[in-house]
Amino acid sequence: MNTIQGPKRRPNYSRIGDRLHGPRKHTLVFELLDYATTNPWFSSLSQEDHHPGVDCIVAPLPGIFSITCKYSDETNTTQCRERTLTGEVAEDDISRPTISPPNLRQYHHLCDEELETKNNKKLQNLEKTKKINRAKMIPGGRHCKLQDNDTVLERGSKNNQHAGSKKLLGMVRSQCQLYEIAPKIEKGRIIQDIMKGFKSSGGRFLIREDKRSNWYEALDKPVHDKLGHMLRDQARARKKTGKDKGPQKASKIPVPATF
Protein backbone atom coordinates (compact mmCIF):
# COMPACT_ATOMS: atom_id res chain seq x y z
CA MET A 1 0.00 0.00 0.00
CA ASN A 2 1.15 3.53 -0.73
CA THR A 3 0.83 6.27 1.86
CA ILE A 4 -1.17 9.15 0.40
CA GLN A 5 -0.43 12.78 1.14
CA GLY A 6 -3.41 15.07 0.77
CA PRO A 7 -3.50 18.57 -0.79
CA LYS A 8 -2.75 21.72 1.19
CA ARG A 9 -6.16 23.16 0.46
CA ARG A 10 -9.44 21.68 -0.56
CA PRO A 11 -9.60 21.60 -4.40
CA ASN A 12 -12.66 22.95 -6.15
CA TYR A 13 -14.44 20.03 -7.82
CA SER A 14 -17.65 21.91 -8.57
CA ARG A 15 -16.69 22.69 -12.19
CA ILE A 16 -14.79 19.53 -13.09
CA GLY A 17 -17.84 17.57 -14.18
CA ASP A 18 -18.86 20.26 -16.66
CA ARG A 19 -15.46 20.11 -18.37
CA LEU A 20 -15.62 16.41 -19.20
CA HIS A 21 -16.22 15.94 -22.90
CA GLY A 22 -14.79 14.49 -26.07
CA PRO A 23 -13.47 11.06 -27.08
CA ARG A 24 -11.46 10.66 -23.85
CA LYS A 25 -14.44 11.15 -21.55
CA HIS A 26 -14.16 7.67 -20.01
CA THR A 27 -10.44 8.11 -19.32
CA LEU A 28 -11.03 11.54 -17.81
CA VAL A 29 -13.67 10.19 -15.47
CA PHE A 30 -11.39 7.51 -14.08
CA GLU A 31 -8.44 9.90 -13.82
CA LEU A 32 -10.55 12.21 -11.68
CA LEU A 33 -11.86 9.33 -9.60
CA ASP A 34 -8.31 8.12 -9.03
CA TYR A 35 -7.44 11.56 -7.77
CA ALA A 36 -10.57 11.69 -5.64
CA THR A 37 -9.42 8.64 -3.71
CA THR A 38 -6.32 10.56 -2.61
CA ASN A 39 -8.34 13.51 -1.40
CA PRO A 40 -9.39 13.04 2.25
CA TRP A 41 -11.69 16.06 2.12
CA PHE A 42 -14.31 14.21 0.08
CA SER A 43 -16.64 11.54 1.37
CA SER A 44 -18.49 11.02 -1.92
CA LEU A 45 -18.71 12.00 -5.56
CA SER A 46 -22.29 12.04 -6.77
CA GLN A 47 -23.55 12.15 -10.36
CA GLU A 48 -25.49 15.37 -9.64
CA ASP A 49 -22.37 17.26 -8.55
CA HIS A 50 -19.98 15.94 -11.17
CA HIS A 51 -20.74 13.91 -14.25
CA PRO A 52 -23.88 12.05 -15.38
CA GLY A 53 -23.50 8.31 -15.11
CA VAL A 54 -20.73 8.39 -12.47
CA ASP A 55 -21.41 6.93 -9.03
CA CYS A 56 -18.46 6.94 -6.66
CA ILE A 57 -18.25 6.46 -2.87
CA VAL A 58 -15.07 7.50 -1.05
CA ALA A 59 -14.17 6.68 2.55
CA PRO A 60 -11.39 9.15 3.54
CA LEU A 61 -10.53 7.67 6.92
CA PRO A 62 -7.13 6.79 8.39
CA GLY A 63 -5.96 3.40 7.28
CA ILE A 64 -7.03 1.32 4.29
CA PHE A 65 -9.93 2.53 2.17
CA SER A 66 -11.78 1.06 -0.80
CA ILE A 67 -13.66 2.82 -3.58
CA THR A 68 -15.92 1.40 -6.28
CA CYS A 69 -16.48 3.57 -9.36
CA LYS A 70 -19.28 2.81 -11.78
CA TYR A 71 -19.65 4.61 -15.09
CA SER A 72 -22.51 3.96 -17.50
CA ASP A 73 -22.57 5.37 -21.01
CA GLU A 74 -25.38 7.88 -21.56
CA THR A 75 -26.22 6.35 -24.95
CA ASN A 76 -26.13 2.74 -23.75
CA THR A 77 -27.31 2.28 -20.18
CA THR A 78 -27.01 -1.53 -20.38
CA GLN A 79 -23.22 -1.36 -20.36
CA CYS A 80 -21.67 -0.30 -17.08
CA ARG A 81 -17.97 -0.03 -16.32
CA GLU A 82 -16.92 -0.74 -12.73
CA ARG A 83 -13.56 -0.26 -11.08
CA THR A 84 -12.49 -0.82 -7.46
CA LEU A 85 -9.56 1.14 -6.06
CA THR A 86 -7.77 0.58 -2.75
CA GLY A 87 -5.18 2.58 -0.90
CA GLU A 88 -4.00 3.76 2.48
CA VAL A 89 -4.44 7.18 4.07
CA ALA A 90 -1.96 8.27 6.71
CA GLU A 91 -3.56 9.66 9.84
CA ASP A 92 -1.21 12.65 9.97
CA ASP A 93 -2.03 13.68 6.39
CA ILE A 94 -5.76 14.24 6.88
CA SER A 95 -5.31 17.68 8.41
CA ARG A 96 -2.54 18.73 5.99
CA PRO A 97 -3.34 17.77 2.36
CA THR A 98 -0.58 18.63 -0.18
CA ILE A 99 -1.58 17.09 -3.55
CA SER A 100 -2.67 19.50 -6.29
CA PRO A 101 -5.65 18.80 -8.60
CA PRO A 102 -4.95 16.96 -11.88
CA ASN A 103 -4.01 18.97 -14.95
CA LEU A 104 -7.09 18.83 -17.16
CA ARG A 105 -5.55 20.89 -19.96
CA GLN A 106 -3.53 17.97 -21.28
CA TYR A 107 -6.70 15.91 -21.63
CA HIS A 108 -8.58 18.71 -23.35
CA HIS A 109 -5.64 19.10 -25.72
CA LEU A 110 -5.89 15.42 -26.60
CA CYS A 111 -9.65 15.74 -27.03
CA ASP A 112 -9.19 18.64 -29.43
CA GLU A 113 -6.50 16.77 -31.40
CA GLU A 114 -8.63 13.65 -31.79
CA LEU A 115 -11.66 15.71 -32.72
CA GLU A 116 -9.65 17.73 -35.25
CA THR A 117 -8.23 14.55 -36.79
CA LYS A 118 -11.69 13.08 -37.10
CA ASN A 119 -13.02 16.26 -38.72
CA ASN A 120 -10.10 16.34 -41.16
CA LYS A 121 -10.84 12.77 -42.21
CA LYS A 122 -14.47 13.67 -42.77
CA LEU A 123 -13.48 16.67 -44.90
CA GLN A 124 -11.06 14.55 -46.92
CA ASN A 125 -13.73 11.92 -47.56
CA LEU A 126 -16.20 14.65 -48.50
CA GLU A 127 -13.78 16.21 -50.99
CA LYS A 128 -13.04 12.79 -52.44
CA THR A 129 -16.76 12.11 -52.85
CA LYS A 130 -17.26 15.49 -54.52
CA LYS A 131 -14.49 14.75 -57.02
CA ILE A 132 -15.97 11.34 -57.81
CA ASN A 133 -19.46 12.78 -58.28
CA ARG A 134 -18.15 15.63 -60.43
CA ALA A 135 -16.13 13.19 -62.53
CA LYS A 136 -19.34 11.30 -63.28
CA MET A 137 -20.82 14.52 -64.69
CA ILE A 138 -17.99 15.01 -67.18
CA PRO A 139 -18.20 12.97 -70.39
CA GLY A 140 -15.13 11.53 -72.00
CA GLY A 141 -13.86 13.72 -74.81
CA ARG A 142 -11.85 16.78 -75.66
CA HIS A 143 -11.94 19.84 -73.48
CA CYS A 144 -13.34 23.13 -74.76
CA LYS A 145 -12.85 26.83 -74.16
CA LEU A 146 -15.38 28.97 -72.30
CA GLN A 147 -17.23 31.32 -74.67
CA ASP A 148 -19.55 34.27 -74.02
CA ASN A 149 -22.70 32.28 -74.79
CA ASP A 150 -21.75 29.44 -72.43
CA THR A 151 -22.69 28.96 -68.80
CA VAL A 152 -20.89 26.99 -66.11
CA LEU A 153 -22.25 24.58 -63.52
CA GLU A 154 -20.61 26.35 -60.60
CA ARG A 155 -21.77 28.63 -57.83
CA GLY A 156 -20.53 32.12 -57.09
CA SER A 157 -21.21 35.71 -58.07
CA LYS A 158 -18.30 35.70 -60.53
CA ASN A 159 -19.87 32.89 -62.55
CA ASN A 160 -23.28 34.56 -62.41
CA GLN A 161 -21.87 37.69 -64.08
CA HIS A 162 -20.92 35.75 -67.20
CA ALA A 163 -22.96 36.69 -70.29
CA GLY A 164 -24.18 33.15 -70.86
CA SER A 165 -25.19 32.78 -67.20
CA LYS A 166 -27.21 36.01 -67.34
CA LYS A 167 -28.99 34.79 -70.44
CA LEU A 168 -29.83 31.46 -68.81
CA LEU A 169 -31.07 33.22 -65.68
CA GLY A 170 -33.46 35.29 -67.78
CA MET A 171 -34.85 32.13 -69.37
CA VAL A 172 -35.29 30.54 -65.94
CA ARG A 173 -37.09 33.57 -64.53
CA SER A 174 -39.49 33.62 -67.47
CA GLN A 175 -40.54 30.03 -66.67
CA CYS A 176 -40.39 30.23 -62.87
CA GLN A 177 -44.07 31.00 -62.34
CA LEU A 178 -45.18 28.25 -64.70
CA TYR A 179 -42.78 25.77 -63.09
CA GLU A 180 -44.14 26.50 -59.63
CA ILE A 181 -47.78 25.70 -60.44
CA ALA A 182 -47.09 22.87 -62.89
CA PRO A 183 -47.50 19.19 -61.88
CA LYS A 184 -44.42 17.06 -61.35
CA ILE A 185 -44.46 15.56 -64.84
CA GLU A 186 -44.70 19.00 -66.47
CA LYS A 187 -41.83 20.35 -64.37
CA GLY A 188 -39.41 18.01 -66.12
CA ARG A 189 -40.71 19.10 -69.52
CA ILE A 190 -40.20 22.77 -68.62
CA ILE A 191 -36.59 22.05 -67.65
CA GLN A 192 -36.03 20.20 -70.93
CA ASP A 193 -37.45 23.16 -72.89
CA ILE A 194 -35.07 25.57 -71.15
CA MET A 195 -32.14 23.25 -71.80
CA LYS A 196 -32.96 22.85 -75.49
CA GLY A 197 -33.64 26.55 -75.92
CA PHE A 198 -30.30 27.53 -74.41
CA LYS A 199 -28.39 25.04 -76.56
CA SER A 200 -30.22 26.04 -79.74
CA SER A 201 -29.13 29.65 -79.19
CA GLY A 202 -25.47 28.61 -79.26
CA GLY A 203 -24.93 28.17 -75.52
CA ARG A 204 -23.27 25.26 -73.79
CA PHE A 205 -23.33 23.95 -70.22
CA LEU A 206 -19.70 23.56 -69.15
CA ILE A 207 -18.18 21.87 -66.13
CA ARG A 208 -14.71 21.11 -64.80
CA GLU A 209 -13.26 18.91 -62.07
CA ASP A 210 -11.58 21.76 -60.19
CA LYS A 211 -10.45 25.34 -60.69
CA ARG A 212 -7.19 24.30 -62.35
CA SER A 213 -8.62 21.80 -64.84
CA ASN A 214 -10.10 22.30 -68.30
CA TRP A 215 -13.73 22.85 -69.24
CA TYR A 216 -15.88 20.05 -70.62
CA GLU A 217 -19.46 20.04 -71.86
CA ALA A 218 -21.63 18.56 -69.11
CA LEU A 219 -24.01 15.66 -69.45
CA ASP A 220 -27.77 16.20 -69.43
CA LYS A 221 -28.31 14.82 -65.91
CA PRO A 222 -26.27 17.45 -64.01
CA VAL A 223 -27.67 20.17 -66.29
CA HIS A 224 -31.21 19.02 -65.49
CA ASP A 225 -30.44 19.12 -61.75
CA LYS A 226 -28.84 22.56 -62.04
CA LEU A 227 -31.86 24.04 -63.82
CA GLY A 228 -34.18 22.50 -61.24
CA HIS A 229 -32.21 24.18 -58.45
CA MET A 230 -32.31 27.50 -60.26
CA LEU A 231 -36.08 27.32 -60.73
CA ARG A 232 -36.67 26.46 -57.07
CA ASP A 233 -34.36 29.25 -55.93
CA GLN A 234 -36.23 31.76 -58.07
CA ALA A 235 -39.56 30.50 -56.69
CA ARG A 236 -38.36 31.07 -53.12
CA ALA A 237 -37.08 34.51 -54.05
CA ARG A 238 -40.50 35.42 -55.48
CA LYS A 239 -42.20 34.44 -52.23
CA LYS A 240 -39.80 36.53 -50.16
CA THR A 241 -40.34 39.63 -52.29
CA GLY A 242 -44.12 39.17 -52.26
CA LYS A 243 -44.45 38.85 -56.01
CA ASP A 244 -45.88 35.36 -55.73
CA LYS A 245 -49.42 35.56 -54.34
CA GLY A 246 -50.28 31.87 -54.38
CA PRO A 247 -51.73 29.59 -57.07
CA GLN A 248 -53.38 31.32 -59.98
CA LYS A 249 -56.64 30.51 -61.66
CA ALA A 250 -56.64 28.34 -64.77
CA SER A 251 -57.35 31.33 -67.00
CA LYS A 252 -54.27 33.14 -65.69
CA ILE A 253 -51.76 30.30 -65.95
CA PRO A 254 -48.76 31.62 -67.91
CA VAL A 255 -48.16 30.21 -71.34
CA PRO A 256 -44.86 28.31 -71.85
CA ALA A 257 -42.29 30.43 -73.59
CA THR A 258 -40.85 29.45 -76.95
CA PHE A 259 -37.09 29.81 -77.02
Sign of CA dihedral 233, 236, 237, 238: positive
Q: 146 in a domain, yes or no?
A: yes
Q: What is the pLDDT of residues 126-175, one digit of tens each?
A: 666 655 455 555 555 567 788 888 988 877 767 778 888 899 999 999 99
pTM: 0.43
Q: Are residues 50 and 110 located together in one domain of the fold?
A: no
Which ranges of 44-183 does DSSP label H, i.e. alpha helix? 105-137, 157-160, 163-181
Q: Are residues 38 and 115 located together in one domain of the fold?
A: no
Question: How many structural domains compose the chain?
Answer: 3
pLDDT of 254 reads 54
Distance CA 33, CA 29 (A): 6
> What range does the domain containing 57 cover?
3-102
pLDDT of 195 reads 93
Q: Are residues 116 and 216 located together in one domain of the fold?
A: no
pLDDT of 87 reads 44
Chain centroid to Cα 223, Å, comes to 28
Sign of CA dihedral 169, 175, 181, 182: negative
Q: What is the pLDDT of the chain when averaged over all its residues?
A: 62
3-class secondary structure, 94: coil
3-class secondary structure, 61: coil
What residues are paired with 72 via a beta bridge? 80
Q: 257 in a domain, yes or no?
A: no
pLDDT of 241 reads 79
Q: Are residues 164 and 112 located together in one domain of the fold?
A: no
